[in-house]
Amino acid sequence: MSEIIMTQQNELAKIIERYSEKDGVHPTAISSLFFIRVSNTNVPRPGVYKPSLCMVVQGAKEVWLAQERFKYSPSGYLVASIHLPVTAQVTEAAPDAPYLGFKLEFTPSQILEVLHESEKQVNPKVDPKRAMFVSQMDSSLLDAVLRLARLLDNPKDIPMIAPLFTKEILYRVLEGENGSILEQIVMEGSSIYQIREVIEHIMNHYDRSTRIEELAEIANMSVSSFHRHFKEVTAMSPIQFQKQLRLQEARRLLLTESADATDVAFRVGYESPSQFSREYSRMFGFPPRQDIKRLRA
């Protein structure tokens, strides 16, 4: 890692520490920007990543998308280009050197705006690729990230300047080694664009029974082509994708509401409470009641 990048990361680490005095995910005055602090390595934790740029400024982290592992540290950055159910784990952290993370969420319309303004030509007819990737860190990207983070010390500048720095950050990612993946999610007619539309449908209707034929129709693909493309983009089948969304929403409901496990099972789309309990235990390691009791403790 170059000396310039190390200097930039040291400054960014100080900003993150200043705005996150305790462990957890910390929203900032920039609505799309979050800082993360973790003082000890933790167990794998399931969650849904929104489209976002994620950086490890101190420590290390692993993210599992189905059976595929993405490992990153200060030498690289991770991008989730669409909503993806994952399991994440901080693998390097200590009280005197906590894990420090930076997450910037973005929307497809922001990507499209950057492409239009940069007048970049994009070919929509390329093979679909995984919607999550890790790329090598570079100083030009870090410089834009650092300038965005510094705005937190000047709140009055945020409304005017934060969108400009965010646009520059996205431009740097698009110019990077895996930028074509981000390009494809907004190019109408591309395979990833069509799969993204299906994912948005599943996100909005995860609690309903869905036929593969119906999803393939939304994607304007044959069933076999749709199934192949969906797995290429997300590393899982549409049914596995929906199941993960259901179980993660069920866990959230059990944690935040005084709800019975059977009631929650029906709310997230299960017809059999016993099947819900089995699949919940398989994903989280404990039956619903025991898992929630453990988390609250």
Q: Do 79 and 165 belong to one domain?
A: yes
Residues whose CB falls within 8 Å of the CB of residue 82, separated by 6 or more in sequence, listed in order: 51, 131, 185, 192, 195, 196, 199, 233, 234
| Of 145, 167, 184, the domain-final residue | 184
Last residue of a domain, one of 161, 184, 207: 184
State whether 9 and 93 are in the same domain: yes
Q: What is the mean pLDDT of residues 11-21?
A: 96
At residue 258, does pLDDT exceed 90? no
24-27: strand order across its sheet: 24-27, 33-38, 99-105, 52-58, 76-80, 132-136
Which band of pLDDT confidence, cut at 50, 70 and 90, is reported for residue 127? confident
pLDDT of res. 190: 87
- Please state, as a whole number, how many other Cβ atoms lie within 10 Å of the Cβ of residue 225: 14
Structural domain boundaries enclosing 86: 3-184
Q: What is the dihedral of CA 207, 208, 213, 216, to 10 degrees?
A: -40
Q: Do 70 and 135 belong together in one domain?
A: yes
Instruction: Give yes or no: residues 168 and 256 share one domain.
Output: no
* N- to C-terminal Cα separation, the chain: 41
Total number of domains in the chain: 2
Distance CA 88, CA 287 (A): 20
Token code pair at residue 119: 């007048």
| Per-residue pLDDT tens digits for 130-146 | 999 999 999 999 999 99
Per-residue pLDDT band for 74 (boundaries 50, 70, 90) equals very high
Please check whether residue 180 lies inside any domain of the structure.
Answer: yes
pLDDT score of 122 more than 80:
no
128-137, 190-199, 252-261: the lowest-pLDDT one: 252-261
Last residue of a domain, one of 153, 169, 184: 184
Percent of the chain whose predicted confidence (pLDDT) is above 90 = 84
Report the candidate in 183, 191, 187, 201 with the shortest Cα–Cα distance to residue 133.
183
**pLDDT exceeds cutoff 90 at 28:** yes
Q: In Å, what is the CA distance from 77 to each residue of 50, 137, 233?
A: 15, 6, 19
Q: Is residue 234 part of a domain?
A: no
Rounded CA separation 282/46 (Å): 12
Instruction: List the CATH number of the domain containing 157.
Output: 2.60.120.280
- pLDDT-derived band at 295 (thresholds 50, 70, 90) equals confident
* Residue 288, domain CATH: 1.10.10.60
Average pLDDT of the chain is 93
Residue 102 belongs to a domain: yes
* Same domain flag for 129 and 44: yes
Residue 223 included in any domain = no
Kindly tell me if the per-residue pLDDT of 249 is higher than 90: yes
At 296 the pLDDT is 80
Same structural domain for residues 252 and 172? no
Task: Give tens-digit pLDDT for 199-224.
Answer: 999 999 999 988 999 999 999 999 99
Which pLDDT band, with edges at 50, 70 and 90, does 83 fall under? very high
124 pLDDT higher than 70: no
**Confidence band, pLDDT 50/70/90 cuts, at residue 19:** very high
Q: 286 and 175 share a domain?
A: no
28 and 170 belong to one structural domain: yes
170 and 253 part of one domain: no
Q: Are residues 59 and 166 in the same domain?
A: yes
Mean pLDDT in residue range 99-124: 91
